[in-house]
Amino acid sequence: MEHIAALLLIVGCSGDTAECRELPAPTPVYETFEECEAERPVSLRELETEAPRVMATCVYVDPALVYDDAVLEWDVTTDGKLTASIEPVTSFEVARNEHARHDRTATE
């Protein structure tokens, strides 16, 4: 299995950044954070026509993290900066989400 040290997150937004969505990165994972940073400007150029404002960031991936138990969380701040991190999902969060899904199904 390939070691992943970083992933490239690219987000396309409206001009005022009120609406944003993830865009597919040409190469989404990298073996080193430095490789990701070097490719970021190239990927931005390739996708610059996909939205009025396109942003990208490299996200560090903790090698001790089990990928099945993690989520990518990102946000565009009020000053227009893209922030992102990979966060572990605790078993409590998984159980709570499964419970919420069950409740929603039971009431529909």
17-62 per-position pLDDT tens digit: 999 999 999 989 999 999 999 999 999 999 999 999 999 999 998 8
User: Which burial class, exposed, middle or buried, applies to 96 when counting CB atoms under 10 A from its CB (0-12, 13-18, 19+)?
Assistant: exposed
Write out 57-76 in H/E/C secondary structure: EEEECCCCCCHHHEEEEEEE
> So what's the pLDDT on residue 74?
94
Contact, 91 vs 68, CB < 8 A?
A: no
What's the CA gap between 57 and 66, in Å, rounded? 21
pLDDT for the residue numbered 91: 57
pLDDT tens for residues 62-103?
877 665 678 889 999 988 899 999 888 765 544 444 434 333
- Give the pLDDT confidence score for residue 87 in this predicted structure: 85
